[in-house]
């Protein structure tokens, strides 16, 4: 916006209108800086730090328990991957939830959206950080499992068995990323940490049981549940190679349970009054 100023040329002379002065438009905050700030916010609090640290701690505990309690002669890399995958499927979605809801639970949303008025850029930065943390966490967890596999082989004197092909590893990472996205979408939709966490466990633990009960009594549901139940095909990513139809079913259910809540939640955040 520009304004024109009028100043007198002399004490008694006529007023002279000066040309308007253009205000310099500040450059937008670089997206990389927003990424860095949002990432640091996920680690800055005590709860955030220990939640991230719990990824390594849980992986180490699961690996040690597998070595101690498992049949060492029969242990393979797949055994350790399965043991560390269970806690990851719980911890990573919670990280996805808290990445969004912490702004409202800690009452920092007003400050965040005042400093960065473009809410889409803030949400986008949070989403990128969540996906990166998910991939890195799985690499760390499977790395700890690999160390356990080597340690188990050294104890028994057997050769270490690496029985997880690249496609299985990629599918495991994708399955956990989808879990994080589901948590992120619910967090964006509900903007409450307890509600979103409970909602995730309902979708992940309660709905599969309801779906199985329906499949046992309703033939139509038994034949078509994979088109509506996101867990029916997502769980297959952990231990089997999906067919083209199963990939299509995964895409349809992910659109229903992840993309739709994500879009609705983003629309609500864009229009809601932040207090």
CB distance 179 to 131 below 8 Å = no
Longest dimension (CA), the chain: 104
Q: pTM for this structure?
A: 0.84
pLDDT in tens, the chain (275 residues): 555 555 555 555 555 555 666 767 667 788 889 999 998 888 877 877 888 888 889 888 988 888 888 787 788 888 888 888 888 888 889 999 998 998 887 788 888 888 888 889 999 999 999 999 999 988 888 888 889 888 888 888 888 888 888 888 888 889 999 999 999 999 999 998 899 999 999 998 888 889 888 888 888 888 888 899 888 888 888 877 888 999 999 999 999 999 999 999 999 988 887 77
Place of tokens 């969004």: 100
Instruction: Tell me how far apart the alpha carbons of residues 31 and 218 are, in angstroms, rounded to a whole number.
Output: 50
Instruction: Tell me how far apart the alpha carbons of residues 140 and 144 are, in angstroms, rounded to a whole number.
Output: 6
* Number of C-beta neighbours around residue 192 at 10 A: 16
* Number of C-beta neighbours around residue 158 at 10 A: 13
Q: Which residues pair with 16 in a beta bridge?
A: 7
Instruction: Tell me how far apart the alpha carbons of residues 147 and 160 are, in angstroms, rounded to a whole number.
Output: 10
Instruction: Tell me how far apart the alpha carbons of residues 195 and 14 are, in angstroms, rounded to a whole number.
Output: 69
């Amino acid at each position: 916006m520009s304004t024109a100023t009028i100043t007198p040329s002399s004490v008694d002379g006529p007023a002279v209108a000066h040309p308007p002065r253009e205000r310099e438009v500040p450059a937008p905050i670089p997206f990389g800086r927003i990424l860095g700030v949002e990432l640091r916010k996920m680690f800055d609090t005590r709860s955030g730090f220990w939640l991230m640290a719990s990824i390594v701690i849980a992986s180490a505990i699961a690996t040690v328990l597998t070595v101690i309690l498992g049949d060492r002669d029969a242990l393979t890399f797949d055994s350790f991957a399965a043991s560390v995958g269970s806690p990851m499927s719980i911890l990573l979605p919670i990280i996805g939830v808290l990445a969004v809801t912490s702004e409202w639970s800690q009452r920092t949303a007003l400050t965040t959206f005042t400093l960065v008025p473009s809410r889409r850029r803030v949400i986008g930065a949070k989403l990128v950080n969540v996906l990166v943390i998910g991939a890195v966490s799985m690499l760390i967890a499977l790395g700890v499992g690999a160390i356990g596999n080597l340690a188990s082989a050294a104890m028994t004197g057997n050769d270490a068995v690496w029985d997880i092909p690249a496609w299985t590893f990629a599918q495991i990472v994708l399955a956990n990323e989808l879990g994080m996205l589901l948590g992120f979408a619910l967090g964006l939709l509900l903007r409450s940490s307890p509600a979103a966490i409970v909602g995730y466990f309902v979708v992940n633990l309660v709905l599969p049981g309801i779906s199985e009960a329906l499949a046992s009594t309703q033939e139509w549901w038994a034949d078509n549940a994979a088109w509506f139940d996101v867990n029916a095909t997502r769980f297959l990513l952990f231990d089997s190679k999906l067919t083209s139809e199963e990939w299509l079913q995964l895409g349809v259910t992910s659109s229903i349970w992840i993309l739709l809540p994500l879009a609705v939640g983003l629309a609500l955040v864009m229009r809601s009054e932040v207090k």
